[in-house]
Structure 1
Amino acid sequence: MAEPWFGQSLHALPATVLGALGALGSEFLREWEAQDMRVTLFKLLLLWLVLSLLGIQLAWGFYGNTVTGLYHRPDPHPQLAAALDVFGNGSK
């Protein structure tokens, strides 16, 4: 029995995708080499993005617990919570 028509296209799909990615990559490299000002701006923006993400990561490492603590409100009724806790432990 003959293989369905879509089976042949599925076998050719990885080669087609890799070919398209290769063509896109080579076009990008040609543009990269031809446009000096665009490349410089792209490199600067990429560097800014990486440094910003690194700064956010470092700041969260230092101040993450403090920031998280700001979002937790203290219990407005500590006596009620203590009374309920006493009843909870007494029933065990």
Structure 2
Amino acid sequence: MPKSTATTLGLVFCLLATPLAVPTPAHAVTININIGTNLNHGRPITCREGEWRIRDRGFRDVRRIDCRGRFFVYRAWRGAQRFEISLDRRNGRVVDFRRIRR
């Protein structure tokens, strides 16, 4: 048997033995945020970084309400609901999370 034929048969056998990649079904991504959620792995955050972290969790129109003192307070929209979120500046942990009326 010629060398090229053996190589071709070996390649065909490898392709047949390899399972085909089956696409996985797409699912909607839900990102939950609750009191006690740590947004920065226990490291201190800045007011701007807190705003980015909240936006990365699926909120839009994030507004800084108070960035003085121990806690940073933000208001943001998710879907048709408005939320007020407070973060601890020392560790990036969510200390208060509540839905507010328009």
TM-score range, shorter chain: under 0.3
Question: TM-score, normalization: structure 1?
Answer: 0.28
TM-score (norm 2): 0.26
Which structure is higher in RCO with an 8 Å CA cutoff and minimum separation 6? 2
Structure whose alpha-carbon radius of gyration is higher: 1
Pick the structure with more helix per residue.
1
Higher strand share: 2
